[in-house]
Structure 1
Amino acid sequence: MALLAISVFLTYYFHAILMLGTVFSHFFYIPIILTALWWEKRSILVAIFLGGLVVISSLLYRPELLTLNDYGRALMFVVIAFVVASLSEQLKGREQEVKRQRDLVQRYLDVAGVLFVVIGTDHTIRLVNRHGCEVLGYREEELLGKDWFDTVVPGAFREVRRQTFNEMIARKTSIPGQREHPVVTRSGDELILAWQDTVLTGDDGQPIGIIGSGADITDRIRAEEEMRKAHDEANLYLDIMTHDINNANGVALGYADLLEAMLDGGGQEMVRKLRAGVGRSIEIIQNVTTIRRLHSHETATKPVDLDAVVRAEIAHHPGARIAYSGETVRVMADDLLSEVFANLIGNSIKFGDPGVEIAVRVEESGDKVLVSIEDTGPGVSDAVKPTLFTRFARGTSSRSGKGLGLYITRTLVERYGGRVWVDDRVPGRPGRGAAFRFILPRSSRAREPPASPAPPAACRIVTARP
């Protein structure tokens, strides 16, 4: 309204006082353009008013100076108002659309359960979601425009994080994967975020900042640390217990050997039962140790000489009748493979008669190796077979144990990428002996020459103890 009042005054002053033409009317573009920017199409009314003012004032005060140019200028006022108003509407429409999209994105970010933040190339915070404000303990207006590293990154990590940020901007590539990212809250508490970020680029492909997301894993990290400490403490107690029990078992076996030599008849039978009980204690300790090793190491297989493992286990049973034809083959396993043979051969000896015969067979088939351990013992009934390798499953024999040995066997074989099962040695006749079979992946590496000469016979038999 002030500009329109000035326009009326200028029209009167130039026409009535100075008796000049309409050069002053160039001033009229200012209120026309401003009105078009502010009120869009309503500026046309202002343009018509100012154009009419020019023409009417010329007719009233200097009609002899009124020319076609004056009518053209009045028309130009209307055209300028229309064009600028149209452009202003388009710009405002785009601004509103951008604002709607930004508000929509902000709502999406606000409902997310993790921190989201946009950090500009100048290290300032451009956008942060509601959960991020809650995690950091700030209001949104307190964070926007602040330096991210000076505000929320702990001092010990500040320069390293800043340098990493600058390198990502320079390379236009963020660090892949998730990593731990410490932050400090307004109250001074230090939190650990599971952090991921990506570089944002503009229409010209140049970086404009980084968008990062972080989930608070402080409680999880602390819980894992407490669990790790508890695990280490439990392992310490287990190591002490295992060491002391093994020492006690060793002493008990020593005295049992002395008693067996001193006694006869019923006394020797009692000593043999004592030795069996101590042996059971040793077996329990060995199972516990194996399970601990299974759960404390990652699966990392390597080529293993299967023949050497089999021969080493046979050597532990010099009083058993075990037939084995040497097969130089390498499989993918680890140092615990011997436990598989110890459990299966040990079961055949434990549950078989004194004269039980055991055969170990190795067959190669493509990239697999089939191992069979067959015995002439009492066999495994069909009702027991489906659950035989599950934890704490027991057989029907009075000498059946707790089932940990076969559970460990299955765990190890599956860890190597194979499988294990039990068949009848004579198909369809469970009482004629059992055949434990398992498959192992064959090593793709070339075979290495044996360290010692191969056995001369095709079958090695160890005669049973009388």
Structure 2
Amino acid sequence: MGRVLYAFNSERLWLTAIGVTTCITILVTFVSLTEGFTIVFPHLFYLPIILTAYRYPRTGIPYAVLLGVLYLLMVAAFTQATLTILAAAAIRTVIFIAIAGVVSLLSGALQREELKYRTMFEHTGAATAVFRADGTIAMVNGEFVRLLASPAADLIGRPWQTILSPEDRKRFGPATEGLANGTFEIRLTRKDGTPLDVVATSGKTPYTGIMVFSCVDITEKKRTEEANLFLASIVESSDAIVTGQDLDGTIISWNHGAEKNTGYTAVEVIGQPSSLLVPPGRESEIAMILGKIRAGEHIDHFETVRVRKDGSHFDAYLIVSPIRTVGGEIVGASSITRDITEQKQAEENLKEANEEANLYLDIMAHDINNANTVSMGYAEYFTEVLEGSEREFAHKLLSSVKKSVEIIDNVSTIRRLRQESATLRPVSLDDVIREEIRHFSGTNIAYEGCSVRVMADDLLSEVFTNLFGNAVKFAGSDVRIGIGVSEEDDATVSISVDDTGPGIADEDKPGIFTRFQRGKSKKSGKGLGLFIARMLVERYGGSIHAEDRVPGSPGKGARIVFTLRRVP
């Protein structure tokens, strides 16, 4: 497959030609000698001798000796062999051998040269082909076969245009006139239709019109160049400050975003130290960053301050990465710097607004709770002294005040959850449950006790406060609540709280723990209770979901099941 193919390179054809000319020569010699001719016909022996010596240099002389001896024997056998005739035949035999020697010598030298150039052709490292003057492919080397992914037999004899891509076929004519001597880029097509970008070199031999065509695959190089151009366009169009520095901190690249944000042009900064952008007092940052880069480390979101050309400062964060060669050697650093002045100001404004909102919330909670305390006192008094419908109104007033207290408590709990990080510690689950049961002394709550400790904090009681309160709110004071505790494994405990209330419809169960999500009960409320319960359970590393108290019967009560991490 890989060797050079020639149109006239058949051993069988050569052997046939030598055999046929030898037989004809012997036959003509026999006829001529028997007819008395001894002068012209011996020249026929030159044909098989020259053919043999040319094709097989080492065999040429022995074959000439063989034919010469045969000729002498035939002269002696079929003529009146006088001394003159035999001497002439002997001289011709010597000439046969001499001609064979000369041809063998020249042919051997020619074949050695051919082998040398054939080896060079085959192992040049480039895909090489020879085109005839009419544009057909005469020969190809192994690299050309590999590159085109097509057998040599399929390439030889084809018009050279058939290996070009459709767009390049229009650039070149059917013959080789369109191929100029020199180097150029061209796109070939493999046998399977895959395009192939190559750098080609062509040269035409004088007088013959034969063209030598060599090419090197640059498909991957082109893809890499295109990818690099794409990345470069992204970098250039980025509004961030994207720069490159060598390991000494000298700026070697500068994008449009850098010019826009700092006021420096690329001409002004390339070749300058990167400390140009560093305000006084922060010079040590450059040494620290370059030290990490030399060690192969990446720097992510390093907040700092940078200075513009006009001297103004701006808050910034940096992302810095090593630049490596193909061999992995670190030769520099690429950095992305973003101006976060507006972001920092927005964060500061948000912080101030949050602090102000918390202040208002504290004032509101304090003042409203004070007002609620007074209102609850009056409402409780009226429920005791009034009768009939007036007493009923007093109970409604008391219920509304309690609802106001509940809302404020829930908001305060949510604020604590948002602001305070969880510091978990071992907590007695039994103590927490019993304390909450005492707060609901007027409610029928069944609980057998447990000896489990869980990882939680002082907000764990709020889970049970909200679950118990939710059951009472939706089922009334006659509700029966059951609490179950089971140890799922060495690391997890499961707690269930069920009630005999109206239950939770199946379609409501997935979203019941979402803020402001409520079931289809007409009872008032913003749905914060179960939302807070979910926040707390997840804060402790557990999960929570709703079930039916009686499986398959949503209307016979709900069961809330949640897990907590158990203390071994």
Structure-to-structure mapping, 1:30-429, within 5 angstroms: 109-149=235-275, 151-157=276-282, 159-165=283-289, 167-168=291-292, 172-174=295-297, 176-200=299-323, 208-298=331-421, 301-366=424-489, 367-429=491-553
- Rounded to whole Å, the distance in 2 between the matches of 1:369 and 1:385 is 22
Matched to 2:333, the amino acid is I
- 1:393 deviates by 2.7
In 2, are the aligned partners of 1:394 and 1:400 still within 8 Å (CA)? no
- 1:386 deviates by 4.2
* Uncovered stretches (5+) of structure 2, i.e. residues with no partner: 1-221
- Rounded to whole Å, the distance in 2 between the matches of 1:211 and 1:303 is 49
- 1:262 deviates by 3.7
TM-score by length of 2: 0.54
- Rounded to whole Å, the distance in 1 between the matches of 2:353 and 2:281 is 29
Worse overlay, 203-212 or 114-123:
203-212
- Rounded to whole Å, the distance in 1 between the matches of 2:473 and 2:328 is 74
Summarize the Cα distance change of 1:341–1:204 in structure 2 as closer, same or farther, 3 Å threshold: closer
In 2, are the aligned partners of 1:339 and 1:409 still within 8 Å (CA)? yes
- Rounded to whole Å, the distance in 2 between the matches of 1:148 and 1:427 is 70
- 1:120 deviates by 3.6
In structure 2, the partner of 1:78 is: none
Q: Secondary structure at the match of 1:178?
A: strand
In structure 2, the partner of 1:91 is: none
- 1:246 deviates by 0.7
Summarize the Cα distance change of 1:338–1:121 in structure 2 as closer, same or farther, 3 Å threshold: same
Indicate the percent of aligned positions where both proteins have the same amino acid: 42
Worse overlay, 345-354 or 115-124:
115-124
Summarize the Cα distance change of 1:400–1:387 in structure 2 as closer, same or farther, 3 Å threshold: farther
In structure 2, the partner of 1:436 is: 560
Q: Secondary structure at the match of 2:519?
A: coil
- Rounded to whole Å, the distance in 1 between the matches of 2:252 and 2:329 is 17
Q: Secondary structure at the match of 1:235?
A: helix
Summarize the Cα distance change of 1:431–1:133 in structure 2 as closer, same or farther, 3 Å threshold: closer
Summarize the Cα distance change of 1:238–1:106 in structure 2 as closer, same or farther, 3 Å threshold: same
Matched to 2:277, the amino acid is V
- Rounded to whole Å, the distance in 1 between the matches of 2:347 and 2:305 is 17
In 2, are the aligned partners of 1:106 and 1:129 still within 8 Å (CA)? no
- 1:361 deviates by 0.5
Cα deviation 1:111-144 (Å, max 9, x = unaligned): 3443222334444323222322222111111112
Worse overlay, 276-285 or 304-313:
304-313
- Rounded to whole Å, the distance in 1 between the matches of 2:387 and 2:553 is 41
- Rounded to whole Å, the distance in 2 between the matches of 1:205 and 1:156 is 34
- 1:345 deviates by 0.8
How many equivalent pairs are there? Answer: 343
- 1:296 deviates by 2.8
In 1, are the aligned partners of 2:239 and 2:256 still within 8 Å (CA)? no
Matched to 1:233, the amino acid is E
Summarize the Cα distance change of 1:394–1:211 in structure 2 as closer, same or farther, 3 Å threshold: closer
Matched to 2:394, the amino acid is V
Task: Please list every run of at least 4 consecutive aligned residues from structure 1 whose deviation after the TM superposition is greater than 6 angstroms.
Answer: 201-207
- Rounded to whole Å, the distance in 1 between the matches of 2:484 and 2:327 is 69
Worse overlay, 240-249 or 130-139:
130-139
Matched to 2:558, the amino acid is A
Matched to 1:144, the amino acid is I
Summarize the Cα distance change of 1:434–1:295 in structure 2 as closer, same or farther, 3 Å threshold: same
In structure 2, the partner of 1:3 is: none
Cα deviation 1:391-424 (Å, max 9, x = unaligned): 3233343434221212222333344443323222
- Rounded to whole Å, the distance in 1 between the matches of 2:399 and 2:438 is 20
- Rounded to whole Å, the distance in 1 between the matches of 2:453 and 2:483 is 16
In 2, are the aligned partners of 1:375 and 1:435 still within 8 Å (CA)? yes
Summarize the Cα distance change of 1:143–1:273 in structure 2 as closer, same or farther, 3 Å threshold: same
- Rounded to whole Å, the distance in 1 between the matches of 2:428 and 2:337 is 48
In 1, are the aligned partners of 2:320 and 2:336 still within 8 Å (CA)? yes
Matched to 1:295, the amino acid is R
TM-score by length of 1: 0.65
- Rounded to whole Å, the distance in 2 between the matches of 1:238 and 1:439 is 32
- Rounded to whole Å, the distance in 1 between the matches of 2:288 and 2:365 is 49
Worse overlay, 417-426 or 183-192:
417-426
- Rounded to whole Å, the distance in 2 between the matches of 1:216 and 1:210 is 19
Q: Secondary structure at the match of 2:300?
A: coil
- Rounded to whole Å, the distance in 2 between the matches of 1:235 and 1:243 is 12
- Rounded to whole Å, the distance in 1 between the matches of 2:341 and 2:471 is 52
User: RMSD between aligned alpha carbons?
Assistant: 3.1
- Rounded to whole Å, the distance in 2 between the matches of 1:342 and 1:203 is 64
Summarize the Cα distance change of 1:349–1:212 in structure 2 as closer, same or farther, 3 Å threshold: same
Matched to 1:316, the amino acid is H
- 1:276 deviates by 0.7
Summarize the Cα distance change of 1:161–1:276 in structure 2 as closer, same or farther, 3 Å threshold: same
- Rounded to whole Å, the distance in 2 between the matches of 1:141 and 1:228 is 41
In 2, are the aligned partners of 1:348 and 1:377 still within 8 Å (CA)? yes
- Rounded to whole Å, the distance in 2 between the matches of 1:372 and 1:439 is 9
Summarize the Cα distance change of 1:394–1:213 in structure 2 as closer, same or farther, 3 Å threshold: closer
Q: Secondary structure at the match of 2:236?
A: helix
Summarize the Cα distance change of 1:353–1:237 in structure 2 as closer, same or farther, 3 Å threshold: closer
- Rounded to whole Å, the distance in 1 between the matches of 2:409 and 2:335 is 50
- Rounded to whole Å, the distance in 1 between the matches of 2:498 and 2:322 is 63
Matched to 2:250, the amino acid is T
Matched to 1:110, the amino acid is E
Q: Secondary structure at the match of 1:309?
A: helix
- Rounded to whole Å, the distance in 1 between the matches of 2:544 and 2:376 is 34
Select the structure with the greater relative contact order (CA < 8 A; seq sep ≥ 6): 1
In 1, are the aligned partners of 2:545 and 2:561 still within 8 Å (CA)? yes
Cα deviation 1:347-378 (Å, max 9, x = unaligned): 22222243322111111111332211122233
Q: Secondary structure at the match of 1:177?
A: strand
Summarize the Cα distance change of 1:276–1:422 in structure 2 as closer, same or farther, 3 Å threshold: same
Summarize the Cα distance change of 1:120–1:430 in structure 2 as closer, same or farther, 3 Å threshold: closer
- Rounded to whole Å, the distance in 1 between the matches of 2:548 and 2:290 is 69
- 1:146 deviates by 2.0
- Rounded to whole Å, the distance in 2 between the matches of 1:353 and 1:226 is 46
- Rounded to whole Å, the distance in 1 between the matches of 2:362 and 2:244 is 51
Matched to 2:273, the amino acid is D
Structure possessing the higher radius of gyration over alpha carbons: 2
